[in-house]
Structure 1
Amino acid sequence: MESWKMKLLSTSRGKFEIFIKGEGEPLCITHHYSEFNDTGDYFAETFTKTHKVFLVNLREAGNSEKALEPYQLSMLETVFDLEAIREEMGFDNWGFAGHSTGGMLGIIYGIYFSDSLKFNVIVGATAREYMTFSKDCIYHSEHPQYQIMQDFTEALKNPDLNDKERKHLAAERVKLSLFEPDKYEQYFFKNINKKMSRIRLNYFSREVQVFDVTRKLSLVSTPTLIICGRYDVQCPVSYSIEMAELILNSKLVIFKKSNHYPFLEEADLFRKEFINFLKELSNQFKETSSF
């Protein structure tokens, strides 16, 4: 598998490590607390056949800028960082795609900078804190697998884990979020290795407790594709339905045989829906240009 090319980009907000792959129009992808390297990312890999993907290591991840103040790890500040990257790259606009907490960043990006986004793809995400009010969420204390997920998450924060231990724990954690856990090896077979930024995850764990931008979703004007697995245990499908109802220019697709990873669990259908979304965008642009 072709490696991603690393670029260390100096911006008005510091230096950021970016991994680039694919051809076509620019598409930004990131995750709120993942730490990427040149092996890439399963979600990002999905888009490299249609776009030139810029996979961003956020502040405190990889070789990117450090946080001088704790607030610089917030979701809003992170979006400001992404805008600085876009401006430095010289793009008038670009697409954005985010999975899980990456999708949460995408929502905030759309609220504040829709003019910078050609389109927005939000997968398995939410516009508000998702644990307290949904027993379908694996992070809700009454979910039957709550404690198992907590144990895995805490164990993965241990900086002393060797690669074998980390890989095993990460796999068992992911299986909790698959519609068919026995297919883990079928989905995750590529040589892709990424880590979690402990400092970013710890900050997010606090920030998410007061996270709710639902009343601002009407400010999102960029075309938005919202995708969720019907059995998503991390960000239950009810939150995607809510976002689709509140974002005017949005399309919701619910995958019937997926949990939190529809881009792997129903990969062919995921690509088909994304291509259809791009075609709809192209048709909308042609109709607008004809006036």
Structure 2
Amino acid sequence: MELTINGCRLNVEDLGPRDAPLVIAHHGGGGIGSLEEPKRTFGTLADEYRVIVFDARGCGRSEAIEPYSHAQWAADVDAIREWAGAERITIAGGSYGGFIALEYAVAYPDRVNAVMLRDTAPDGSKLSLAFDNARNQDRIEVKWDDFNRYWTGQIRDDADLKQCWADMIGLYDHDHDYDPVKSAAAVEAGYYRHEAHNWCFQHNWNEYDVKDRLPAVTVPVLVTVGRYDWVVPVSCSETIAELVPNSELVIFENSGHSPQNEERELFQQTIRAFMHRAVPLTAGVSA
């Protein structure tokens, strides 16, 4: 369905029982993300919980109205919460969506029951390490000019973004799970919005740092990461877990950046068990 949230038309899916505790899951990828990823990852909980997924402004099938800032994207999450009639939510996100989940948790602490994170970071400081990881692998041949334009927000148009992503997607899975045919199909199934992507890396990335505010996040936080994640390595998740008082760190030993796919059964067991502990089903929408 389409909702107008803070003056912007967003593509939204509202899943599961309306009287259950609410999970809002934010997609990753910035301008290459859409609700399809968190729907596959967290939508499975909709047999017990209410789960809302959506395309962020400027992404997927949603309207393009600036700014595409972390503060605006977090404010849109809160407006969706208010539309849904929930006093508190579990906020979830993977990769870039984890940035927004953490931004929401520190900006709206009274609205959060719990947090679920997947392969994310508390700041943008480890990008140089990701570049080193890309240089030290031999699975794909990196086109460095395009690679650098991608990570500095210098993408020319949507087709350029798609091509840069197609050239780089082979870095993301663990070696034994890399399937070029499957990766090519994922590229074709995606959405590409270069304006939002460029905004992320021209305006957001260097300003992103929530480390000093994480000790004030006292709700339960699940931190998950693949052992072989090249772009936000395990050390990023370890930093989050060290700073958040009530955190659980789970490392998926046979995964790269996508344990929700590479070790799907274990990942699903992990998030459901966490939700049962952190947000019991008796909590209801106003918990």
State if a TM-score over 0.5 links the two structures.
Answer: yes
Residue 36 of structure 1: CA displacement? 6.0
Residue 97 of structure 1: CA displacement? 1.5
CA 210–219 in structure 1, closer or farther in 2 if over 3 Å, else same: same
Residue 124 of structure 1: CA displacement? 0.5
Equivalent residue number for residue 49 of structure 1: 44
Please give the per-residue CA displacement for 1:151-197, whole angstroms capped at 9, x wherever unaligned: 257589453639xx94x764542221111253455688789822232
Q: Structure with the greater relative contact order (CA < 8 A, sep ≥ 6): 1 or 2?
A: 2
- Opposite residue 234 of structure 2, the aligned amino acid is V
Within 5 Å, which residues of 2 pair with 1:117-132? 117-131=112-126
- The answer to whether the 8 Å contact 2:27/2:37 transfers is no
Specify the SS of the correspondent of 1:277: helix
Backbone CA RMSD of aligned residues: 3.3
Equivalent residue number for residue 222 of structure 1: 219
User: Do structure 1's residue 75 and structure 2's residue 75 form an aligned pair?
Assistant: no
CA 115–193 in structure 1, closer or farther in 2 if over 3 Å, else same: farther
Residue 117 of structure 1: CA displacement? 2.2
Which of 266, 271, 280 is the aligned partner of 1:269? 266
Which of 13, 21, 28 is the aligned partner of 2:24? 28
Which of 167, 171, 174 is the aligned partner of 1:176? 171
Aligned equivalents of 2:92, 2:184: Cα separation in 1: 20
- Opposite residue 220 of structure 2, the aligned amino acid is P
- The answer to whether the 8 Å contact 2:96/2:120 transfers is yes
- The answer to whether the 8 Å contact 2:60/2:191 transfers is no
Structure (1/2) with the larger helix percentage: 2
Comparing 214-223 with 192-201, which one deviates more in the overlay? 192-201
- The answer to whether the 8 Å contact 1:110/1:222 transfers is no
- The answer to whether the 8 Å contact 1:27/1:53 transfers is yes
Gaps of 5+ in 2: none
Within 5 Å, which residues of 2 pair with 1:87-236? 87-131=82-126, 135=129, 137=130, 139-140=131-132, 143-144=135-136, 147-148=142-143, 151=146, 154=149, 157-159=155-157, 161=159, 166=162, 170-180=165-175, 181-183=177-179, 185=181, 193-206=189-202, 207-236=204-233
Comparing 142-151 with 196-205, which one deviates more in the overlay? 142-151
Specify the SS of the correspondent of 1:50: helix
Gaps of 5+ in 1: 1-6, 287-291
TM-score by length of 2: 0.79
User: Do structure 1's residue 8 and structure 2's residue 27 form an aligned pair?
Assistant: no
TM-score by length of 1: 0.78
Specify the SS of the correspondent of 2:172: coil
CA 193–117 in structure 1, closer or farther in 2 if over 3 Å, else same: farther
Aligned equivalents of 2:133, 2:44: Cα separation in 1: 40
Equivalent residue number for residue 4 of structure 1: none
Aligned equivalents of 2:145, 2:100: Cα separation in 1: 23
- The answer to whether the 8 Å contact 1:107/1:127 transfers is yes
CA 67–58 in structure 1, closer or farther in 2 if over 3 Å, else same: same
- The answer to whether the 8 Å contact 1:21/1:48 transfers is no
Residue 128 of structure 1: CA displacement? 0.9
Aligned equivalents of 2:12, 2:40: Cα separation in 1: 11
Please give the per-residue CA displacement for 1:51-97, whole angstroms capped at 9, x wherever unaligned: 243222222235545435xxx32112221121112112222122221
- Opposite residue 18 of structure 1, the aligned amino acid is N
Aligned equivalents of 1:271, 1:189: Cα separation in 2: 23
Aligned equivalents of 1:191, 1:174: Cα separation in 2: 8
Aligned equivalents of 1:160, 1:46: Cα separation in 2: 25
Specify the SS of the correspondent of 2:80: helix
CA 189–141 in structure 1, closer or farther in 2 if over 3 Å, else same: closer
Specify the SS of the correspondent of 1:238: helix
CA 64–198 in structure 1, closer or farther in 2 if over 3 Å, else same: same
- The answer to whether the 8 Å contact 1:23/1:49 transfers is no
